[in-house]
Structure formats: C-alpha cells, structure tokens
Amino acid sequence: MEKNKYYVSLVEGEISHRPHDRNGYLEISATETELSNLRRKFDNMHDAGVVTFFRAHLPFVEYHHDDSNDKYDSNMLEVYQMLYELGNKKTREHIESMGILNEYDM
C-alpha cells in the first residue's frame, strides 16, 4: 500500500496533510490502514480522558488505582509507539529524547 505524509499534533489529537504550526507537529508516513489505526488510538485516548476528567473530581479515588487512567496511559504509549514506527528521523529522535518508550524495544 502507498504511504502518504501526515502531520500529527498530540496536543490536539489532530492528523493533517499539512502542518498548521510546524513546531507542534510530528511528521509520519502512513498507509490508510495505519492512519485508521492511529485515529482509533486517538479516539480511545480521548474517551479514556473524558472518564479521567470526571474521576478527578472524586478525591477519594487515587490516580494509581483508577482503570481509566491506566487506559489513558496505555493508549498514549501505544500512540507514541506507533508515531515512532511511522515517523521520520526527526520524529523518532524527538520521541527518543522524551524517554517515554524506554520500556519498549525500539
């Protein structure tokens, strides 16, 4: 399958053909299937984030004992792993510099 270039904003959860703000986007090359998988991971992250927002208003539930936080964190790691695999050299170097994927075999 043919890969196309995309720009991903993690802050906004946005995937675009053109960068709106060059500094805030990570560049990747992905097939339609890979792009669909990435979008689904962003959707999962968003859904888990909504639940964690409401959970944050319950002070008796600790962060590390909350399944919605675990789901959000897991999805975020999956997004970073996928961006690392699909990213150009600059994207991979940026993710490496964050140290977020140390538990994965890069």
**DSSP code string of 4-41:** EEEEEETTTTEEESS-SSGGG-EEEEE-HHHHHHHHHH
Q: 55 in a domain, yes or no?
A: yes
Nearest to 41 by CA among 84, 97, 81: 81
| Domain ranges, residue 39 | 31-98
Q: 13 in a domain, yes or no?
A: no
Q: In whole angstroms, what is the distance from residue 81 CA to residue 43 CA?
A: 16
Q: 2 in a domain, yes or no?
A: no
Nearest to 49 by CA among 61, 62, 66, 24: 66
Quick one: pLDDT band at residue 106, thresholds 50, 70, 90?
very low
* Total domain count, the chain: 1
Provide mean pLDDT across the span 31-59.
Answer: 75
Nearest to 8 by CA among 41, 53, 51: 41
pTM for the whole thing?
0.77
